[in-house]
Chain A
Amino acid sequence: MALLEVDDLHVSFKTTDGIVQAVRGVSFQVDAGQTLGIVGESGSGKSVSTQTIMGLTRGAQITGRAMFEGSKDLLTLPLPEMRKIRGAEIGMIFQDPLSSLHPYYKVGWQIVEMIRQHDKDMSKKQARARAVELLKLVGIPQADRRVDDYPHQFSGGMRQRAMIAMAMSLNPKLLIADEPTTALDVTVQAQVLAVIKTLQEEFGTAVILITHDLGVVADVAENVQVMYAGAVMEKADLRTTFFANHHPYTEGLLLSLPAYGGERERLRPIHGQPPSLISLPPGCPFAPRCDYVMDRCRTETPPLASVGNDATHLSACWLPHDVAARNELRRKVTGEPLPAQAEA
């Protein structure tokens, strides 16, 4: 049984300009102890879908199901029930650690409140001891003293660690990390990713990692889901995503990275802009920017189907699933020999 199973999730917002279809039929599942990386550009719906699961998208029209531990549908759960799950069973870390901590309260107090909210039997003293222990765990020096600091006395990396400490305080089964390292320097990013990885190994927490950084994904994730314009484009394990991907968007994302373009060569960007989510074109949302576009792509939306016989590799694209035929097309379009990795 999957820990979290999201089925055909649709989220839309009414705005003065029209209805924004932020998420259009997203399904995924996370097993206990597993790390799922969700990759996509701004507006791809990666944050909205997880925020909806946590009940944080107010005023949105939501359809679909999000089953937690097989029995509880997070989308229809009454608020008091939801509150018991939020924080205790599912922890969440946001991108900006400064605005997720309350500036008026001491860091330790905020962790204590979080613990006592869910565990009424714990005394203040015990909760405080637990807060110190957690801060030590995420590598805050002199945790017994820093526990009485205010958020502004912490550096960016320390704040994010405090957020992780808070999210992990009740030993959740699932941790949702929404761009946890985007606001941090690479050296601090490495520290924070190491903390997340170690905590996961220690406690067997499942992690959903939302990021736009494919380097972070390669480092942490086991499975990857690539999103574009509110829909899943491709879903596969880590190696398949990087070395044997099927969808042209995944390929485009990887090729546009400086590390993949080789040294001193011209980068290969994806041309054009992402579509507006208010008036999406018919057919495949990526068709206007796709190098492989065919007539069919502009009229029929490709379903998310397994590539060849591999049930774990799904792609929403009309291109042939046969690897040889796909590579032949790739050669024609890119006009260059295959990247060595693709053949692996």
Chain B
Amino acid sequence: MNAETTATAPEPAAGDDVLLRIENLVKYFPVQSSSLFRRDREFVHAVDGVSLEVRRGQTLGLVGETGCGKSTLARCVLRLFNLTSGRITFDGKDISKLKPRQMRPFRREMQMIFQDPYGSLNPRRRVGSIIGDPFAIHKTATGQERKRKVQEVMELVGLNPEHFNRFPAEFSGGQRQRIGVARALAFRPKLIVCDEPVSALDVSIQAQIINLLADLQKELGLTYIFIAHDLSVVRHVSNTVAVMYLGKVTELAPVDDLWARPRHPYTDALLSAVPVPDPDKAGQRERIILAGDVPSPISPPSGCRFHPRCPKAAPTCVEKDPVLEPRLGDEANHLAACHFPVEDGEDISKARPTISAEDRVIESGLLGSA
């Protein structure tokens, strides 16, 4: 396989193995105010002060419930959204304020794979021309040369290069996702954001795509940001995992560390909620079932945003926003934003919050007693 570098690629900063640095990133979306006479606009606090680093050749997993801001964060990194504030440094260059035209050379270096292999491919265009788009847009190859390059990348992702002239409808879900991967790989980018790349696929096909992504990472030295709601998949592919809740990172740790010693009660609850495909373990596990739903990101709760649902919530949590830092003598790379981190072997399913009732999510019915 040819490792071709494109002419105008930004020079990597020497001696720095951090490919992507996100500093205090904030993204608000304005919403229509609910009151007719209210003049001040309201905002969805989608991402609210996130700082992360991604090292070259590594995978950062992003997990959290719907609406926690993980997809918004990923789209901000690719500058598909403009930032409200904060800084993104990619390959040693600050890209947070670049104009669309200035972003262009960087677009080759950072690509995205989408969740829905049906919605993300134009059904009226042939596969060859879909995968050839990057070459057409950046005007780097035409005619026979473009075709050769497209077929090369098709082969790389395990598609038959002879299917160049077929339409997306002629492929199955798994093969379509390979088309999506091929398109992202056309320029051999440094960073690929995978936004739920296997969620729409069947179990047996999921494993094919995960293996493909792992092989490509090894072969091409790719760096991934991997978003998935399936925590067992994230555990399998990631080096580091960031847990997000309502626009903030609540815990950041190397993958094995996070599973072995979750410090934030939210992480603990999230991990315990994952159904384990093992009847023996399913029976004996102590499940922490969180009450209620994620609150509205328009007016997030005060202090620690998790406090209304947290079994360990105390008055401090309502008042003070906890800092993301190592807790309970953890290594410097295991950070948690919690005033009362979970100790080793602690069972938080038995904990009861010590805050007043109006600060909590109200529990009733079967789940309250369960």
Question: Could you tell me which A residues sit within 8 Å of B by CB distance?
Answer: 41-42, 136-143, 155-158, 185-191, 193-195, 198-199, 202, 212-219, 238-239, 242-243, 252-254, 256-261, 263-264, 266-271, 273-274, 341
Contact = CB atoms under 8 A, between A and B. Distances in A.
Contacts of B175: 273
B13 to A, nearest CB: 30
A188 B231 CA distance: 14
A139 B366 contact: yes
User: Top 9 A-B pairs ranked by shortest CB distance?
Assistant: A215-B275, A269-B207, A270-B204, A258-B236, A41-B202, A256-B207, A139-B365, A267-B207, A190-B273
Interface stretch (B3-11, B109-117, B288-296, B326-334): B288-296
Given A186-B229, A218-B277, A254-B277, A138 B211 contact: no
Given A185-B65, A215-B275, A260-B277, A190 B203 contact: no
Nearest to B173: A42
A86 B256 CA distance: 48
Interface string B270-283: 10111111111110
B204 to A, nearest CB: 4
B297 interface: no
Interface in B169-204: 172-175, 202-204
A187 B65 contact: yes
Given A198-B366, A218-B277, A258-B236, A185 B207 contact: no
Nearest to B290: A187
B211 A187 contact: no
B277 A242 contact: yes
B370 A198 contact: yes
Given A256-B204, A269-B211, A215 B274 contact: yes
Nearest to B275: A215
B293 A139 contact: no
A158 B293 contact: yes
Given A214-B277, A218-B278, A257-B232, A191 B207 contact: no
Contact of B174 (A217, A267, A273): A273
Given A256-B204, A263-B256, A156 B366 contact: no
Contacts of A256: 203-204, 206-207
Given A41-B204, A263-B256, A187 B269 contact: yes
A341 B279 CA distance: 11
A167 B279 CA distance: 27
Contacts, number: 157
Contact of B210 (A194, A253, A258): A258
A186 B279 contact: no
Which label, helix, strand, loop or mixed, suits the secondary structure of the A interface?
A: helix
B364 interface: yes
Interface of B: 65-66, 172-175, 202-208, 210-211, 214, 229, 231-233, 235-236, 256, 269-270, 272-282, 287, 289-290, 292-294, 361-368, 370
A264 B232 CA distance: 11
A140 B361 CA distance: 11
A212 B203 contact: yes
Contact of A218 (B65, B279, B289): B279
A202 B367 CA distance: 13
A153 to B, nearest CB: 12
Nearest to A186: B273
B367 A194 contact: yes
A28 B129 CA distance: 48
Given A41-B203, A41-B204, A269-B207, A141 B363 contact: yes
Given A198-B370, A212-B203, A273-B172, A259 B277 contact: yes
Contacts of B174: 273
A273 B172 CA distance: 8
A257 B203 contact: yes
B232 A143 contact: no
Contact of B214 (A193, A202, A252, A266): A266
A139 B211 contact: no
B57 to A, nearest CB: 15
B287 A269 contact: no
Contacts of B290: 187, 190-191
A139 B369 CA distance: 10
A138 B369 CA distance: 12
A317 to B, nearest CB: 17
B204 A218 contact: no
Given A186-B65, A190-B287, 17 more contacts: A41-B205, A42-B173, A140-B365, A143-B365, A186-B273, A189-B275, A195-B366, A195-B367, A214-B277, A215-B274, A218-B278, A253-B204, A257-B207, A258-B236, A264-B236, A267-B210, A270-B207
Contacts of B294: 155
Contact of B361 (A141, A194, A261, A273): A141
Nearest to A217: B277
Contacts of A41: 202-205
Contacts of A194: 287, 289, 366-367, 370
A58 to B, nearest CB: 25
Contacts of B367: 139, 191, 194-195, 198
Contacts of A261: 207, 236
B211 A266 contact: yes
Given A141-B363, A273-B172, A187 B270 contact: yes
